[in-house]
Amino acid sequence: MSVFVIRRLMQAIFVVFLMSVIVFFGVNIVGDPVYMLVSPDADQADIEAAIRRLGLDRPIWEQYLLFLKGAAQGNLGDSFIFGEPALKLILHHMPATLELAFSALMMAIVIGIPLGLYSGLYPDNVVSKGIMAGSILGFSLPTFWVGLMMILLFAVELGWLPSTGRGDTASVFGIQTSLATWDGLTHIMLPALNLALLKISLAIRLTRAGVREAMSQDYVKYARAKGVSTQRIIFVHVMKNIMIPVVTVMGLEFGSLIGFSVVTETIFAWPGMGKLLIDAILQLDRPVVVAYLMIMVLFFVVINLVVDILYSILDPRVRLQDQGA
Protein backbone atom coordinates (compact mmCIF):
# COMPACT_ATOMS: atom_id res chain seq x y z
CA MET A 1 0.00 0.00 0.00
CA SER A 2 2.79 2.43 0.89
CA VAL A 3 4.57 1.76 -2.44
CA PHE A 4 1.32 2.46 -4.26
CA VAL A 5 0.83 5.78 -2.41
CA ILE A 6 4.46 6.89 -2.95
CA ARG A 7 4.27 6.11 -6.66
CA ARG A 8 1.05 8.07 -7.03
CA LEU A 9 2.56 10.95 -5.03
CA MET A 10 5.59 11.14 -7.33
CA GLN A 11 3.33 11.15 -10.36
CA ALA A 12 1.30 13.98 -8.79
CA ILE A 13 4.43 16.11 -8.19
CA PHE A 14 5.53 15.63 -11.80
CA VAL A 15 2.09 16.65 -13.09
CA VAL A 16 2.11 19.81 -10.93
CA PHE A 17 5.58 20.78 -12.23
CA LEU A 18 4.61 20.17 -15.86
CA MET A 19 1.40 22.17 -15.47
CA SER A 20 3.28 25.04 -13.84
CA VAL A 21 5.40 25.34 -17.02
CA ILE A 22 2.35 25.25 -19.29
CA VAL A 23 0.28 27.65 -17.17
CA PHE A 24 3.05 30.22 -16.54
CA PHE A 25 4.30 30.46 -20.11
CA GLY A 26 0.77 30.22 -21.53
CA VAL A 27 -0.49 33.15 -19.45
CA ASN A 28 2.62 35.34 -19.70
CA ILE A 29 2.93 35.37 -23.48
CA VAL A 30 -0.60 36.77 -23.97
CA GLY A 31 -1.25 40.52 -24.00
CA ASP A 32 0.64 43.35 -22.35
CA PRO A 33 -0.66 44.27 -18.89
CA VAL A 34 1.48 47.40 -18.64
CA TYR A 35 -0.82 49.44 -20.86
CA MET A 36 -3.76 48.34 -18.70
CA LEU A 37 -2.07 49.69 -15.58
CA VAL A 38 -0.47 53.00 -16.56
CA SER A 39 -2.34 56.20 -17.23
CA PRO A 40 -3.19 56.96 -20.87
CA ASP A 41 -1.14 60.16 -20.44
CA ALA A 42 1.95 58.30 -19.19
CA ASP A 43 5.18 58.96 -21.07
CA GLN A 44 7.81 56.41 -22.06
CA ALA A 45 9.72 56.83 -18.77
CA ASP A 46 6.58 56.02 -16.77
CA ILE A 47 5.90 52.94 -18.91
CA GLU A 48 9.47 51.66 -18.49
CA ALA A 49 9.28 52.28 -14.73
CA ALA A 50 6.06 50.24 -14.58
CA ILE A 51 7.68 47.41 -16.56
CA ARG A 52 10.62 47.29 -14.12
CA ARG A 53 8.32 47.51 -11.09
CA LEU A 54 6.31 44.51 -12.32
CA GLY A 55 9.44 42.55 -13.16
CA LEU A 56 8.46 42.29 -16.82
CA ASP A 57 11.85 43.56 -18.00
CA ARG A 58 13.38 40.19 -17.09
CA PRO A 59 13.52 37.28 -19.58
CA ILE A 60 10.50 34.97 -19.37
CA TRP A 61 12.57 32.03 -18.15
CA GLU A 62 13.96 34.18 -15.32
CA GLN A 63 10.44 35.23 -14.37
CA TYR A 64 9.48 31.55 -14.26
CA LEU A 65 12.38 30.64 -11.99
CA LEU A 66 11.43 33.49 -9.65
CA PHE A 67 7.85 32.21 -9.71
CA LEU A 68 9.03 28.70 -8.78
CA LYS A 69 11.20 30.10 -5.98
CA GLY A 70 8.27 32.10 -4.62
CA ALA A 71 5.86 29.15 -4.99
CA ALA A 72 8.19 26.94 -2.96
CA GLN A 73 7.86 29.56 -0.19
CA GLY A 74 4.06 29.82 -0.55
CA ASN A 75 4.14 33.04 -2.60
CA LEU A 76 2.46 32.87 -6.04
CA GLY A 77 3.18 36.53 -6.87
CA ASP A 78 1.51 39.86 -6.20
CA SER A 79 -1.55 41.08 -8.03
CA PHE A 80 -0.79 43.79 -10.61
CA ILE A 81 -4.09 45.51 -9.78
CA PHE A 82 -4.45 45.22 -6.02
CA GLY A 83 -0.78 45.03 -5.05
CA GLU A 84 -1.60 42.19 -2.66
CA PRO A 85 -0.44 38.54 -2.76
CA ALA A 86 -2.48 36.68 -5.38
CA LEU A 87 -2.78 33.69 -3.06
CA LYS A 88 -4.31 35.89 -0.35
CA LEU A 89 -6.91 37.24 -2.78
CA ILE A 90 -7.86 33.74 -3.94
CA LEU A 91 -8.03 32.34 -0.43
CA HIS A 92 -10.31 35.25 0.52
CA HIS A 93 -12.77 34.21 -2.22
CA MET A 94 -12.27 30.45 -1.85
CA PRO A 95 -14.79 29.72 0.97
CA ALA A 96 -17.65 31.04 -1.18
CA THR A 97 -16.67 28.80 -4.11
CA LEU A 98 -16.06 25.76 -1.92
CA GLU A 99 -19.42 26.00 -0.18
CA LEU A 100 -21.12 26.40 -3.57
CA ALA A 101 -19.30 23.37 -5.03
CA PHE A 102 -19.89 21.30 -1.88
CA SER A 103 -23.61 22.13 -1.91
CA ALA A 104 -23.84 21.19 -5.60
CA LEU A 105 -22.05 17.88 -4.97
CA MET A 106 -24.37 17.05 -2.07
CA MET A 107 -27.38 17.79 -4.30
CA ALA A 108 -25.95 15.50 -6.99
CA ILE A 109 -25.48 12.66 -4.49
CA VAL A 110 -28.73 13.09 -2.54
CA ILE A 111 -30.88 13.54 -5.65
CA GLY A 112 -28.99 11.66 -8.36
CA ILE A 113 -28.16 8.34 -6.67
CA PRO A 114 -31.70 7.57 -5.36
CA LEU A 115 -33.22 8.49 -8.73
CA GLY A 116 -30.62 6.36 -10.54
CA LEU A 117 -31.26 3.48 -8.15
CA TYR A 118 -35.02 3.66 -8.74
CA SER A 119 -34.70 3.86 -12.53
CA GLY A 120 -32.23 0.94 -12.47
CA LEU A 121 -34.55 -1.27 -10.42
CA TYR A 122 -37.65 -0.39 -12.43
CA PRO A 123 -36.36 0.46 -15.93
CA ASP A 124 -39.73 0.02 -17.67
CA ASN A 125 -41.64 2.17 -15.18
CA VAL A 126 -43.13 5.45 -16.49
CA VAL A 127 -41.47 7.35 -13.66
CA SER A 128 -38.10 5.82 -14.57
CA LYS A 129 -38.51 6.89 -18.19
CA GLY A 130 -39.36 10.38 -16.96
CA ILE A 131 -36.22 10.40 -14.81
CA MET A 132 -34.06 9.38 -17.77
CA ALA A 133 -35.67 12.02 -19.98
CA GLY A 134 -34.92 14.60 -17.29
CA SER A 135 -31.29 13.46 -17.14
CA ILE A 136 -30.98 14.03 -20.89
CA LEU A 137 -32.22 17.59 -20.40
CA GLY A 138 -29.70 18.03 -17.59
CA PHE A 139 -26.91 17.08 -19.97
CA SER A 140 -28.22 19.06 -22.92
CA LEU A 141 -29.38 22.44 -21.60
CA PRO A 142 -26.71 25.17 -21.34
CA THR A 143 -25.87 26.11 -17.76
CA PHE A 144 -26.17 29.86 -18.32
CA TRP A 145 -29.63 29.50 -19.93
CA VAL A 146 -30.90 27.29 -17.09
CA GLY A 147 -29.52 29.78 -14.57
CA LEU A 148 -31.31 32.68 -16.23
CA MET A 149 -34.58 30.70 -16.36
CA MET A 150 -34.22 29.88 -12.66
CA ILE A 151 -33.80 33.55 -11.83
CA LEU A 152 -36.77 34.47 -14.00
CA LEU A 153 -39.05 31.82 -12.44
CA PHE A 154 -38.04 31.58 -8.77
CA ALA A 155 -36.79 35.11 -8.14
CA VAL A 156 -38.71 37.37 -10.52
CA GLU A 157 -42.06 35.63 -11.11
CA LEU A 158 -42.57 33.69 -7.85
CA GLY A 159 -40.32 35.73 -5.58
CA TRP A 160 -39.41 32.63 -3.54
CA LEU A 161 -35.62 32.87 -3.60
CA PRO A 162 -33.04 35.66 -4.01
CA SER A 163 -31.19 35.68 -7.30
CA THR A 164 -27.82 37.27 -6.47
CA GLY A 165 -25.27 37.57 -3.71
CA ARG A 166 -24.21 35.28 -0.91
CA GLY A 167 -26.59 36.45 1.84
CA ASP A 168 -25.80 36.53 5.55
CA THR A 169 -22.86 34.47 6.73
CA ALA A 170 -21.84 33.07 10.11
CA SER A 171 -18.51 31.90 11.45
CA VAL A 172 -17.97 28.14 11.72
CA PHE A 173 -14.51 27.13 13.01
CA GLY A 174 -13.29 30.60 12.07
CA ILE A 175 -14.59 30.40 8.46
CA GLN A 176 -17.41 32.59 7.26
CA THR A 177 -20.06 30.47 5.53
CA SER A 178 -23.55 31.10 4.25
CA LEU A 179 -24.53 27.48 5.02
CA ALA A 180 -24.95 28.37 8.69
CA THR A 181 -27.71 30.97 8.23
CA TRP A 182 -31.22 30.71 6.76
CA ASP A 183 -30.65 33.80 4.62
CA GLY A 184 -27.43 32.27 3.30
CA LEU A 185 -29.18 28.97 2.52
CA THR A 186 -31.88 30.74 0.53
CA HIS A 187 -29.18 32.54 -1.46
CA ILE A 188 -27.21 29.37 -2.27
CA MET A 189 -30.15 27.19 -3.38
CA LEU A 190 -30.48 28.49 -6.94
CA PRO A 191 -26.76 28.70 -7.85
CA ALA A 192 -26.03 25.31 -6.23
CA LEU A 193 -28.90 23.66 -8.10
CA ASN A 194 -27.80 25.29 -11.33
CA LEU A 195 -24.25 24.02 -10.83
CA ALA A 196 -25.47 20.56 -9.78
CA LEU A 197 -27.83 19.81 -12.69
CA LEU A 198 -25.19 18.22 -14.90
CA LYS A 199 -23.79 16.20 -11.99
CA ILE A 200 -27.26 15.01 -10.97
CA SER A 201 -27.77 13.69 -14.49
CA LEU A 202 -24.37 12.02 -14.38
CA ALA A 203 -25.10 10.38 -11.02
CA ILE A 204 -28.46 9.12 -12.30
CA ARG A 205 -26.93 7.47 -15.35
CA LEU A 206 -23.95 5.99 -13.51
CA THR A 207 -26.11 4.55 -10.74
CA ARG A 208 -28.76 3.23 -13.14
CA ALA A 209 -26.19 1.49 -15.34
CA GLY A 210 -24.44 0.00 -12.31
CA VAL A 211 -27.68 -1.27 -10.78
CA ARG A 212 -28.89 -2.86 -14.02
CA GLU A 213 -25.56 -4.62 -14.52
CA ALA A 214 -25.30 -5.74 -10.89
CA MET A 215 -28.84 -7.12 -10.74
CA SER A 216 -28.01 -9.61 -13.49
CA GLN A 217 -24.84 -10.88 -11.78
CA ASP A 218 -24.56 -14.37 -10.30
CA TYR A 219 -23.96 -13.16 -6.75
CA VAL A 220 -27.35 -11.43 -6.75
CA LYS A 221 -29.06 -14.57 -8.10
CA TYR A 222 -27.25 -16.63 -5.46
CA ALA A 223 -28.31 -14.25 -2.68
CA ARG A 224 -31.91 -14.45 -3.87
CA ALA A 225 -31.72 -18.24 -3.97
CA LYS A 226 -30.52 -18.21 -0.36
CA GLY A 227 -33.57 -16.18 0.61
CA VAL A 228 -31.77 -12.90 1.33
CA SER A 229 -34.24 -10.03 1.45
CA THR A 230 -34.45 -7.67 -1.52
CA GLN A 231 -33.59 -4.67 0.63
CA ARG A 232 -30.40 -6.37 1.87
CA ILE A 233 -29.41 -7.41 -1.65
CA ILE A 234 -29.85 -3.85 -2.93
CA PHE A 235 -28.45 -1.77 -0.08
CA VAL A 236 -25.66 -4.12 1.04
CA HIS A 237 -24.50 -6.17 -1.96
CA VAL A 238 -25.48 -4.13 -5.02
CA MET A 239 -24.79 -0.63 -3.66
CA LYS A 240 -21.38 -1.68 -2.35
CA ASN A 241 -20.28 -2.76 -5.82
CA ILE A 242 -21.74 0.08 -7.85
CA MET A 243 -20.37 2.76 -5.52
CA ILE A 244 -16.78 2.23 -6.80
CA PRO A 245 -17.28 3.98 -10.16
CA VAL A 246 -19.71 6.45 -8.59
CA VAL A 247 -17.16 7.47 -5.94
CA THR A 248 -14.46 7.78 -8.59
CA VAL A 249 -16.47 9.95 -10.95
CA MET A 250 -18.09 12.10 -8.26
CA GLY A 251 -14.69 12.71 -6.70
CA LEU A 252 -13.27 13.88 -10.00
CA GLU A 253 -16.37 15.94 -10.69
CA PHE A 254 -15.91 17.83 -7.41
CA GLY A 255 -12.77 19.34 -8.91
CA SER A 256 -14.66 20.35 -12.03
CA LEU A 257 -17.40 21.89 -9.87
CA ILE A 258 -14.78 24.15 -8.30
CA GLY A 259 -12.87 24.87 -11.46
CA PHE A 260 -15.82 25.44 -13.77
CA SER A 261 -18.19 27.28 -11.45
CA VAL A 262 -17.22 30.49 -13.26
CA VAL A 263 -20.42 30.63 -15.33
CA THR A 264 -22.73 30.03 -12.36
CA GLU A 265 -20.86 32.53 -10.17
CA THR A 266 -21.11 35.14 -12.92
CA ILE A 267 -24.85 34.63 -13.51
CA PHE A 268 -25.76 34.70 -9.80
CA ALA A 269 -23.12 37.32 -8.82
CA TRP A 270 -21.69 34.80 -6.38
CA PRO A 271 -18.54 36.32 -4.78
CA GLY A 272 -16.27 33.33 -5.35
CA MET A 273 -13.00 32.62 -7.13
CA GLY A 274 -14.70 32.44 -10.52
CA LYS A 275 -15.70 36.10 -10.41
CA LEU A 276 -12.18 37.01 -9.30
CA LEU A 277 -10.76 35.07 -12.27
CA ILE A 278 -13.02 36.84 -14.77
CA ASP A 279 -11.98 40.25 -13.39
CA ALA A 280 -8.30 39.21 -13.49
CA ILE A 281 -8.54 38.05 -17.12
CA LEU A 282 -10.24 41.27 -18.21
CA GLN A 283 -7.52 43.34 -16.49
CA LEU A 284 -4.63 41.06 -17.55
CA ASP A 285 -3.74 40.55 -13.91
CA ARG A 286 -1.34 37.70 -14.73
CA PRO A 287 -0.27 36.68 -11.17
CA VAL A 288 -3.90 36.18 -10.11
CA VAL A 289 -4.69 34.12 -13.24
CA VAL A 290 -1.57 31.96 -12.80
CA ALA A 291 -2.24 31.51 -9.07
CA TYR A 292 -5.88 30.54 -9.73
CA LEU A 293 -4.93 28.01 -12.40
CA MET A 294 -2.19 26.47 -10.27
CA ILE A 295 -4.59 26.10 -7.35
CA MET A 296 -7.04 24.40 -9.69
CA VAL A 297 -4.26 22.07 -10.84
CA LEU A 298 -3.48 21.25 -7.22
CA PHE A 299 -7.17 20.61 -6.53
CA PHE A 300 -7.45 18.17 -9.43
CA VAL A 301 -4.18 16.43 -8.60
CA VAL A 302 -5.05 16.03 -4.90
CA ILE A 303 -8.58 14.85 -5.68
CA ASN A 304 -7.21 12.32 -8.21
CA LEU A 305 -4.72 11.13 -5.63
CA VAL A 306 -7.39 10.72 -2.95
CA VAL A 307 -9.73 8.96 -5.40
CA ASP A 308 -6.93 6.59 -6.46
CA ILE A 309 -6.23 5.71 -2.83
CA LEU A 310 -9.93 5.25 -2.04
CA TYR A 311 -10.31 3.16 -5.17
CA SER A 312 -7.41 0.93 -4.13
CA ILE A 313 -9.01 0.48 -0.71
CA LEU A 314 -12.35 -0.47 -2.24
CA ASP A 315 -10.75 -2.74 -4.83
CA PRO A 316 -7.30 -4.18 -3.82
CA ARG A 317 -6.79 -5.49 -7.37
CA VAL A 318 -5.90 -1.89 -8.37
CA ARG A 319 -2.79 -2.01 -6.15
CA LEU A 320 -1.78 -5.38 -7.53
CA GLN A 321 -2.17 -4.21 -11.13
CA ASP A 322 -0.13 -1.09 -10.36
CA GLN A 323 2.67 -3.18 -8.87
CA GLY A 324 2.56 -5.46 -11.89
CA ALA A 325 2.93 -2.49 -14.22
Q: What is the full per-residue pLDDT of the chain (325 aa) written as tens digits?
A: 677 778 888 888 898 899 989 988 888 877 777 777 777 777 778 778 878 888 888 888 888 998 888 888 888 888 888 888 888 888 888 888 888 988 998 898 899 888 988 888 888 888 988 988 888 888 888 888 898 999 999 989 898 988 888 888 888 877 778 888 898 889 999 999 998 888 889 889 888 888 888 888 888 888 888 877 878 888 877 877 777 777 777 777 777 787 778 888 888 888 888 878 888 888 888 888 899 888 888 888 887 888 777 777 766 666 666 555 5
DSSP characters over 141-204: S-HHHHHHHHIIIIIIIS--S--SS----EEETTEEEGGGSHHHHHHHHHHHHHHHHHHHHHHH
Phi and psi at residue 58, to the nearest 5°: -80, 155
What pLDDT, on the 0 to 100 scale, is given for residue 190?
Answer: 92
Q: What is the CA angle 231-233-236, rounded to 5?
A: 90
Question: CA 279, 285, 286, 287 torsion: positive or negative?
Answer: negative
Nearest to 150 by CA among 113, 181, 189: 189
Residue 10 CB coordination number (10 Å): 10
pLDDT at 308: 78
Q: What is the DSSP letter of 315?
A: -
Q: Which among 232, 211, 180 is positioned nearest to 112, based on CA atoms?
A: 211
Q: How far is 55 from 308, CA to CA, in rounded Å?
A: 40
Residue closest to 143 by CA, chosen among 253, 260, 296, 278: 260
The pTM of the full predicted model, rounded to 2 decimals, is: 0.73
Give the residue from 137, 128, 155, 149 showing the smallest Cα distance to 200. Answer: 137
- Classify the phi-psi angles of 77: left when phi > 0, otherwise alpha if psi is within -120 to 50, otherwise beta: left
Residue 264 is predicted with a pLDDT of 87
Residue 324 is predicted with a pLDDT of 55
